[in-house]
Amino acid sequence: MPPGPVVIGVDSSTQSTKALFVDADTGHTLAVGRAPHRVEGTAGARESDPDQWWRALGEAVAAGLKESGVPASAVVGIAVAGQQHGLVVLDRAGRPLRPALLWNDTRSAPQAAALTEALGGPSAWTARTGSVPVAAVTAAKWRWLYENEPATAAAAAGVRLPHDFLTERLAGVAVTDPGDASGTGWYATATGTYDPELLQLIGLEVDLLPQVAPGGAVRAGSLTATAAEALGLPAGIAVAAGTGDNMAAAVGLGLGGSGLLDHPVLSLGTSATVFAATRTRPVSPALSGFAATDGAFLPLACTLNCTLAVDKVAALLGLDREDAAPGGEAVFLPYLDGERTPDLPTAAGLLTGLRHATSGRQLLGAAYEGAVFTALRALDDVLRACGLDPSAPGVADRPLRLIGGGARGRTWVETARRLSGRPVIVPRVAEPVALGAAALALAAATGGDAVGAAAQWGAGSGRALAPVARDTQTWSRIASVLDHAGPGLLGGGR
């Protein structure tokens, strides 16, 4: 029996590319092809060669084709979800002029602060873009490049986000979507367009930017013959406009205009993010007030230090990452790469509360607690941006969906349960970002609704864990340390 239609959802993240092959009718995962990325840089610099993302995409698609056993002719569409905020500058031939500045490159913190002040402060920015510039935001990275590498900035013939770069390689057209564009700092969620005044403030010409498609489900174009040959796929299949990784995760979980709204998600990966889909445009300076890819909005808070920070602590202690115990009196704020929420780009880690009886397992547990605490405290701001009181009945006990690599770790899950006091759902889909991209690919191929397709696939359902009593003692202890430490003790800030 010949196979049914297959779509490919690509998750091009900080560390790797994943190509998810999905049965378009059932949502069943047929295969996942993977290829690693190399990240370079020290002292706040984080860079990657964009061409390696393209090579990794080819390797991941080839691996997925081999693992799935489906003929390439069964594939009807492809979409890319990419790490947000990265700055890719291209020459006239579409070649990168330099390595991409990644979202977690904190060298642009001074430029972010200067841009915030130049427009009139945080409220002026949130009124237009929904977000206040931080080091991660692409606008701050362009200003850093403009000031530190003026020759490169002057030579730029194109400015792209990571997912835009890959989509252009696939379809031969320069296009982005509202979701990923809303993380640049030059796209106004209030108007749904690039903001001319912001572009002038940043020093960027609009002609360098891709066209903004009405939504990520829009068909950006067709797979070119050159890309088809490189990937081993049929020329002419649908290429979606794609979106950013967080927006794709929301689609993959069935969150959005046609699905669940205001259901909080905690993603435990290289960074930790908390977000929820809502029809209310977020305007809180404490958050990234992103657009979703389908016309809704995606208020989001992001921390830089999550699984990598905890793994670093485990390595320093010579422990397995699961060999942890509750921190006891120890408090560890694992801001090993600075921090974004709270906005402390030059912060360092802080360890306090040590006793003779403190064990290595407790120190590791304290690192988990510090990372989860930082994310959960931002969750209250996300819920407020959705128009909800975080402590109200029916909101405080709303299930928390855990995704990302950490969601497969026992200690991460149990720490989130203990510090949140919420019911927890661990969705059955292991790759929600790639699955969301697959749903976008299907919508591009058929003209359908991506969120509706993902919801029909049932990807947001999974293992449900009952709430446990909230550990208010640990929560209060960490909050007291963070609130009293201040930027000076933490190593800096704005």
| pLDDT tens digits along 267-326 | 998 889 999 999 989 988 889 999 998 888 999 998 989 999 999 999 999 999 999 999
Query: Where are any strands of DSSP class E within 134-287?
Result: 158-160, 175-176, 187-188, 193-194, 211-212, 219-222, 238-240, 243-244, 265-268, 272-275
What pLDDT is attached to residue 295?
Answer: 83
- Are 28 and 430 contacting, i.e. CB atoms less than 8 angstroms apart? no
Work out the pLDDT band at 494, boundaries 50, 70, 90: very low
pLDDT given at position 491: 65
> Tens digit of pLDDT for each residue in 484-493?
886 666 765 5
d(CA 461, CA 429): 8
What average pLDDT does the structure give for the chain?
Answer: 93
pLDDT digits (tens, 9 = 90+) for 143-161: 999 999 999 999 999 999 9
Please give the pLDDT value at position 216.
62
245 is an active site residue: yes
Residue 94: left (phi > 0), alpha (psi -120 to 50), or beta? left
At 3, the amino acid letter reads P
pLDDT tens-place string over residues 217-250? 789 999 999 999 999 999 999 999 999 999 999 9
Looking at residue 438, its amino acid is: A
Binned at pLDDT 50, 70 and 90, residue 79 comes out as very high
Considering 105, 195, 245, 449, which one is annotated as catalytic? 245
DSSP run (H or E) holding 303: strand 297-303
Residues listed for the chain = 494
Instruction: List Cβ neighbours of 233 (8 Å cut-off, separation of 6 or more).
Output: 8, 61, 72, 75, 78, 223, 227
pLDDT at site 346: 86
At which residue do the structure tokens 């921390």 appear?
A: 303
Q: Half-sphere exposure of residue 476, counting CA atoms within 13 Å on the CB side?
A: 4
For 171-201, the DSSP string reads HSS-EE-HHHHTTSSSEETTTTEE-HHHHHH
Structural domains in the chain, sorted by start? 6-251 (3.30.420.40), 259-428+461-490 (3.30.420.40)
- How confident is the model over 440-482, as pLDDT tens digits? 999 999 999 999 999 999 888 889 999 999 999 999 999 999 9
